[in-house]
Structure 1
Amino acid sequence: MYCIIRPLSAMRNPYSSFSTFLFATSLLMLELQVMAISSSAPPHCGPPLPASDADQVQFAMNLEFLEAEFFLYGAHGEGLDKFAPYLTKGGPPPVGGRKANLDPLGFKIIEEFAYQEIGHLRAIYTRVGGIPRPLLDISKENFAKLFDQAVGYKLVPPFDPYANTINYLLATYVIPYVGLVSYVGTAPYLHNFTTKALVAGLLGVESGQDAVTRTFLYERKDLKVLPYNLTVAELTDKMSKLRNRLAMCGIKDEGLIVPRELGAEGLIETNILSADDYSLSYARTPQETLRTVYDTGDEHVPGGFYPHGANGRIARMLLKNKD
């Protein structure tokens, strides 16, 4: 039996080999986990496409553009072309935006959201570069189609998000949550510390906007949305179920009232914040997100809020890769 003794000079870090082993083992376990997810999940619910940090954050700009334009028009009747035209990078103005008939509280909420979205776009533009604003359809006709699809029949008269505060906050319910779960889905795949910090900051405010919206609506959950025979809670439930159907990857969206088994710790039906069994935020991939905001259930087929599709490398690659 032989024993090899290395000189102390060669042992600068006696734990280096063990550290290398642990690092390699961790990488292997991560790869196995990704493979397990990919093999066990349906093909349309697998991990997101490989992309750089910049590509992933620029993808989120599509949602930030939608929020900024909808909130700016709702509060002021004008959009980014007035408030921050350089952020659009020459992209076309939105279709159908108009000033909403908001009460004083609704106006304060939406005006703050609007200015926050300008800040979000500035943050992304400054740190990773911007993309051209995509064509956005924020018309009352587009929202009417979406709400008809959610309830399963044509509402008469057609749903108008700009008609009053309740309608506008119900329309708002449709938007920030999509950005929230998209950021949650993006975060694990980022590599750079600066980009991670940016997404964490964006996610915090998007979560807050969603919480404010849901709380406002929960306080009015039993209110009938005139002239329809539907309550605020019923409409949120139907909209969440529609988004789950469009995204096609299980329950990742819930209304203001849920069956007890879906409530926090299976103990309550109140659902002011939508979360999973561990009260953690749900996550969506870019593919799931596009299926939802396109209102087509297909990330390759544009429509809904994005008649010509979203911009950035990820979204355009998915459009090109349609079979």
Structure 2
Amino acid sequence: MAPHYVSRVTTSIVLLLIASLILTPKSCSSKPISQQTSSDVDLLEFPLNLEYLEAEFFLYGSLGHGLDVVAPKLVEGGPPPIGAKLAKLSASIRDVIYQFGLQEVGHLRAIKSTVKGFPRPLLDLSKSSFAKVMDSAFGRPLVPPFDPYANDINFLLASYVIPYVGLTGYVGANPLLQNATSRKLVAGLLGVESGQDAVIRTLLYERHSSVVKPYGVSVAEFTNHISTLRNKLGKDGLKDEGLMVPIGQGAEGRVLGNILAGDKDSLSYPRTPQEILRIVYGSGNECVPGGFYPDGGNGRIAKSYLKLT
């Protein structure tokens, strides 16, 4: 083979390799947070991403406005949420959701009183954002698109999507915290977050056989689809369960009803920040923002993954 031909072939291969490196996105680190250098500050700041989301969704849903009116200093100049609005709720459900919203204000203040924190990230709480979640959960477009603000059941189903993810994050963070002040704060946050999830699940459980109009699907089936999606996006096995499960998966393997999610010993499942980002981004990848966070989350942990894209 002529030397100049070999040279041309070698050059072509090198150019192809360079093009491949340029066009292929960098892989995202899958190293568990426990193996990274993360301080208590990082682990306490990260949940602010979820607390901002919950505060805005619950306040807007019950009042028609959010933190910019209720507690403007807490947002630190962060952009207002996209598409959040007043929901069409009954008086009793509105009262519960309003209480949740005010509780989230307290959570934000408690975390920011302990660590510096960061401004509110850009949040997408629009109808289309929730519709995409439900479409992904069912593996097909729902017709008409799901509207979380349309009525009690829709709003409760949309609420089912949020607090549980946060509480699993607190369960996962707790054993990694080094000082008593941090553990005390997380224990207090976890107690109320798990309470919110329990109330939402109870309200839905009371309606578990009701059909979600106009989809012809029961409330319980909706929750099962949502939980299956979160397990899929989280990519770390079973950590999410709907309101009805196979009898062997229920408490002590004796019941179909599953008013609270838990493992074989009825203990809450833990999730890492990576798993949470995969879920709330809706991408299944902690390095690829989207879903409720168009620009990704704030704080060192969330931003460290964004830098890998």
Give your verdict on TM over 0.5.
yes
The structure 2 residue matched to 1:206, chosen from 164, 170, 193, is 193
Which residue is 1:57 aligned to? Answer: 44
The structure 1 residue matched to 2:182, chosen from 195, 202, 207, is 195
Distance in 2 between residues matched to 1:272 and 1:46, nearest whole Å: 30
Secondary structure at the counterpart of residue 210 of structure 2: coil
Residue 225 (structure 2) pairs with residue 238 (structure 1): yes
What's the % identity of the aligned pairs? 59
Tell me the number of residue pairs that the alignment of Structure 1 and Structure 2 aligns.
280
1:251 deviates by 0.5
The structure 2 residue matched to 1:95, chosen from 56, 77, 82, is 82
Partner amino acid, structure 1, of 2:194: S
Distance in 2 between residues matched to 1:251 and 1:269, nearest whole Å: 17
Distance in 1 between residues matched to 2:305 and 2:37, nearest whole Å: 12
Distance in 1 between residues matched to 2:205 and 2:274, nearest whole Å: 30
The structure 2 residue matched to 1:70, chosen from 32, 35, 57, is 57
Residue 256 (structure 2) pairs with residue 269 (structure 1): yes
Indicate if the aligned counterparts of 2:33 and 2:273 stay in contact, CA closer than 8 A.
no
TM alignment of 1:1-323, pairs within 5 A: 44=30, 46-48=32-34, 49-322=36-309
1:203 deviates by 0.2
Distance in 1 between residues matched to 2:231 and 2:175, nearest whole Å: 22
Distance in 2 between residues matched to 1:45 and 1:219, nearest whole Å: 41
Distance in 2 between residues matched to 1:117 and 1:111, nearest whole Å: 10
Secondary structure at the counterpart of residue 212 of structure 2: coil
Distance in 2 between residues matched to 1:50 and 1:97, nearest whole Å: 36
State the Cα deviation string for residues 121-145 of structure 1 (Å, max 9, x = none): 0000111122111000000010001
Indicate if the aligned counterparts of 1:94 and 1:135 stay in contact, CA closer than 8 A.
yes
Distance in 1 between residues matched to 2:270 and 2:238, nearest whole Å: 10
Distance in 1 between residues matched to 2:209 and 2:198, nearest whole Å: 18
Q: Identify which range, 312-321 or 296-305, moves more after superposition.
A: 312-321
Which residue is 1:37 aligned to? Answer: none
State the Cα deviation string for residues 282-320 of structure 1 (Å, max 9, x = none): 000000000000000000000000000000000001111
Distance in 1 between residues matched to 2:213 and 2:175, nearest whole Å: 42
Secondary structure at the counterpart of residue 220 of structure 1: coil
Indicate if the aligned counterparts of 1:184 and 1:281 stay in contact, CA closer than 8 A.
yes
- The runs of 5 or more residues in structure 2 that have no matched partner are 1-28
Indicate if the aligned counterparts of 1:45 and 1:249 stay in contact, CA closer than 8 A.
no
1:152 deviates by 1.2
Q: Which has the higher contact order (CA 8 A, sep 6+)?
A: 2
1:212 deviates by 0.2
Partner amino acid, structure 1, of 2:198: A
- TM-score (normalised: structure 1): 0.85
Distance in 1 between residues matched to 2:222 and 2:37, nearest whole Å: 36
Indicate if the aligned counterparts of 2:201 and 2:260 stay in contact, CA closer than 8 A.
yes
- The runs of 5 or more residues in structure 1 that have no matched partner are 1-42
Distance in 2 between residues matched to 1:318 and 1:206, nearest whole Å: 26
Q: Identify which range, 203-212 or 120-129, moves more after superposition.
A: 120-129
Partner amino acid, structure 1, of 2:255: I
Distance in 2 between residues matched to 1:259 and 1:50, nearest whole Å: 40
Distance in 2 between residues matched to 1:162 and 1:62, nearest whole Å: 22
Distance in 2 between residues matched to 1:178 and 1:243, nearest whole Å: 9
Indicate if the aligned counterparts of 1:87 and 1:130 stay in contact, CA closer than 8 A.
no
Distance in 1 between residues matched to 2:260 and 2:33, nearest whole Å: 25
State the Cα deviation string for residues 155-190 of structure 1 (Å, max 9, x = none): 111100000010000000000000000000000000
Which is higher, the Rg of structure 1 or of structure 2? 1
Partner amino acid, structure 2, of 1:248: K
1:89 deviates by 1.0
Indicate if the aligned counterparts of 1:89 and 1:130 stay in contact, CA closer than 8 A.
no
